[in-house]
Amino acid sequence: MNQLNKNTIYLVAIVAVIVIVAIVAVVLLNNGGNNNGVTPTPTPLAENTLQFSANVTSLGSTTEYKWYGKDIQSNRTLRVDVATYSYILDEDQQKSWSSTDSGSTWTAGDYTTDWAGWGAQWVEYVDELENWTSGDYSFTNNAGEEVVLFNILIDPTLDDSIFATS
């Protein structure tokens, strides 16, 4: 009878371990391990393309910028549109272009100067988007201006013509 009690105890212990492992597995699979079943939003730096708009308010005046980026993990190519002005910066080629007629004609720019301005803004905005989960995202930029990022698309399909200068 003593041997039977030991076998019963071992059997109960094994069943208990199996039940506990099964419960943990179900919880982790259903909740994704603490995200309450919500699929996490991909972060901009983990993707290849990014598109968003920014309303920047400075001295009571708001200006809208439209940003596009491809190959954003390395050798970025960026485009920013502001009213009828457009700028394209190609990090791989270390070249930049500007347009004053909504991209109909392009003029070669000074990449170093353009990257110091537009590239720095892009980097600041993408860094801020690392905190974004959904909807619009507001913050105060390094210049003390109020910024609202909106229409944020992570890894959209961007036509190459967006970045064409000819």
Residues 22 and 48 occupy one common structural domain:
no
pLDDT computed for residue 37 by the predictor: 46
> Band of the pLDDT at 158, cuts 50, 70, 90?
very high
User: In this predicted model, what pLDDT tens digit does every residue of 92-132 receive, in sequence order?
Assistant: 999 999 999 999 999 999 999 999 999 999 999 999 999 89
**SS3 call for 35:** coil
**SS3 call for 108:** strand
pLDDT computed for residue 166 by the predictor: 87
Domain assignment of residue 20, given as a range: 1-40
Structure tokens at 112: 């170093």
Burial of residue 154, with CB atoms counted within 10 A of its CB: 0-12 exposed, 13-18 middle, 19 or more buried: middle
* Mean predicted lDDT score pLDDT of the chain: 83
Q: In terms of residues, how long is the chain?
A: 166
Residues 15 and 68 occupy one common structural domain:
no
Residues 107 and 158 occupy one common structural domain:
yes
Residues 16 and 71 occupy one common structural domain:
no
User: In this predicted model, what pLDDT tens digit does every residue of 7-37 receive, in sequence order?
Assistant: 666 555 555 545 554 554 444 444 444 444 4
pLDDT computed for residue 11 by the predictor: 58
Residues 82 and 122 occupy one common structural domain:
yes
Structural domain count, the chain = 2
Entry pTM: 0.72
Cα 56 to Cα 40, 122, 124, 139, 153, distances in angstroms:
28, 13, 13, 10, 18
Residues 36 and 48 occupy one common structural domain:
no
Residues 126 and 148 occupy one common structural domain:
yes
Residues 49 and 122 occupy one common structural domain:
yes
Residues 141 and 124 occupy one common structural domain:
yes
Q: In this structure, what are the phi and psi dihedrals at residue 13, rounded to the nearest 5 degrees?
A: -65, -45
Residues 1 and 29 occupy one common structural domain:
yes
Residues 128 and 85 occupy one common structural domain:
yes
pLDDT computed for residue 105 by the predictor: 96
Residues 86 and 14 occupy one common structural domain:
no
